[in-house]
Amino acid sequence: MLAALLRLAARLPLPVLHLLGKAAGRLVYAFPGRYRRRLQANCRQAGYDDPAFFRRAAGHAGAMILETPRVWLHPADCLARCTVDDEQLLRAAHAEGRGVLYLTPHLGCFEITARYMAGLGPLTVMFRPPRQAFLEPLMKESRELPGLHAVPANMKGVREFVRAFRQGQSVGMLPDQVPSGGDGVWAPFFGRPALTMTLAGKLARQSDVPVIVTAAERLPKGRGWRIHNLRLPEPLPEDPAALAALINQSMETLIRRFPEQYLWGYNRYKIPHDAPPIPTESTP
C-alpha cells in the first residue's frame, strides 16, 4: 500500500510535491521532541538562531522526502529541470581522464545530483538496503539508469570504487554520514568536532582523482534544481585529519549558499561507542 502511494505521489507535479512536503515538514517540527531539539541545536551551532529559519529548514526536509519518489521514478523529467552554473568546471575535471570523486552532502536534493553526474560519464555510487522493505523495489528501479552503477556499502563496494577510478570513471559518496569509530577522524564542522569519514580522502589520494563537492539547490515554486559545485584544491593534504577538515570546510561553503536546505535534523555530531576520544584542543 505504501509503495503504491509513493508511486502515486511521484505522478504529482513537482510544485505540488514541494508544497505538500514543506507543509508536512513544518507539521512534524511543530511537535516537541528529539527531532525538533536536534534541528534547533544544529542550526544554532552554525549560527542560525531565527525560529522562522528552523521552520523553513523543517519544511525543506519534508520537500526533500516528497520529491524523492519523483526523482527515482521520473528521472528524465527531473533532469530536464536542472541547471548548472559552473558546468565547465565539471567538464574540465572529466577531460583530465582520471575520473572524478563527487561528494554530495545532505543538502538540497542529493538524489538528483547522482543522476545528473551519470549523464556526464559512468558513475558508481554506494547504496544501503532501506530499513523499510517496501522501498527496496522502488530503490532498485531508481538505480536502473544508463551510466549509473550502484554497489553495496561494504568492502566489495570500495573495491568497485577503486576499479571505477582505474577505468577513468567517476564515483559518488555522501561525505557527511557519521562513520564507525575506526573509519573516521575528528574534524571541525561549523566550529564543533564531528566524526568525519576518512574513506573519501583515502580514495582520492590513492587514486589521484579530482574531488568535487556538489549539491542541488531546490528552486522556488517547484521550478527544479540548480546544481552547485566546488573543486577541492590540489595537491590534497596528506594528513587524514587535515583532508577531512578541508572536505568539511568545503561542505560548509556550499551549505552557506542555501542553508535552509541542509538536513539539520540529521545527527551529524553523533558519537559512536567505538569512536576515538575527541581531541582536547579541538573542543570548543
What pLDDT does residue 282 have? 44
Residue 11 backbone phi and psi in degrees, to 5 = -85, -15
Q: Identify any residues that bridge with 149 across adjacent strands, giving them in sequence order.
A: 124
98-107, 180-189, 262-271: segment of lowest average pLDDT: 180-189
Residue 149 DSSP code: E
Any idea which architecture 2-270 has in CATH?
3-Layer(aba) Sandwich (3.40)
Residue 171 scores a pLDDT above 50 = yes
Instruction: Name the pTM for this structure.
Output: 0.92
**Percent of the chain at pLDDT exceeding 70:** 93
The CA–CA distances, whole Å, from 251 to 66, 141, 167, 230 equal 24, 30, 27, 9
Mean pLDDT, rounded, for 171-193: 92
Residue 212 has pLDDT above 60, yes or no: yes
Q: What is the dihedral of CA 95, 215, 128, 192, to 10 degrees?
A: 120
pLDDT at residue 283 in the model: 41
CA distance 143 to 264: 26
